[in-house]
């Protein structure tokens, strides 16, 4: 079933969204891995404590967390405790999976809604170390990640898990 979704009109945009999530999360963690040592060297080697590395690293961690979580969900790389569900009879396993999918959809919708409200409410505030950057912009990865995860949850509900598809296995997009 999961390979059959490749021909569906939604497959290519969702594959593109998945690849974009991987790239954004990867770039965020790579930049964070450079910025933190730069801040340490500036402070302890040159004796100059720059104010920007910490808030930028925190922002990049938020991007990595929420955007990367969407990609991890689609790839099946998220944490799942299946000890109880694996012991259930097959029909109850199916029901438990559908309940989990429904719960994920509700949580994603909640985070999307309230994350967008948080962004809107804090758009007029600034960060002391980065006065040019509105606080609301720093919270944008929350609703964006929730929207991407919700898209992948709905895809899973409609077409099943996508973990066996080539694009998810780090292959090429069809």
* Mean pLDDT, residues 22-47 taken together: 93
Report the alpha-carbon distance of residue 14 to residue 2 in Å, rounded: 13
pLDDT at position 119 over 60: yes
Left if phi > 0, otherwise alpha if psi is -120 to 50, otherwise beta: which for 76? left
Residue 24 CA to residue 66 CA, distance in Å, equals 10
pLDDT score recorded for residue 76: 86
Per-residue pLDDT at 2: 45
How confident is the model over 17-46, as a mean pLDDT? 93
Contact 111, 119 (CB under 8 A): no
pLDDT of residue 7: 65
Q: 4: which residues sit within 8 A by CB, 6+ positions away?
A: 159
Pure H helices in 1-140: 11-44, 53-75, 83-87, 90-122, 135-138
């Amino acid at each position: 079933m999961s390979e059959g979704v490749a021909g569906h009109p939604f497959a290519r945009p969702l594959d593109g969204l998945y690849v974009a999530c991987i790239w954004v999360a990867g770039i965020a963690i790579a930049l964070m891995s450079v910025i933190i040592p730069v801040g340490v060297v500036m402070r302890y080697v040159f004796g100059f404590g720059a104010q920007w590395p910490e808030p930028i690293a925190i922002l990049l961690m938020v991007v990595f967390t929420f955007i990367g979580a969407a990609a991890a969900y689609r790839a099946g790389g998220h944490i799942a405790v299946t000890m109880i569900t694996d012991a259930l009879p097959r029909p109850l396993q199916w029901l438990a999976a559908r309940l989990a999918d429904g719960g994920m959809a509700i949580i994603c919708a909640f985070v999307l809604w309230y994350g967008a409200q948080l962004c809107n409410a804090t758009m007029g505030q600034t960060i002391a170390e980065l006065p040019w950057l509105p606080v609301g912009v720093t919270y944008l990865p929350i609703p964006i990640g929730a929207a991407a995860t919700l898209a992948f949850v709905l895809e899973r509900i409609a077409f099943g898990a996508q973990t066996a598809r080539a694009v998810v296995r780090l292959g090429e997009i069809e």
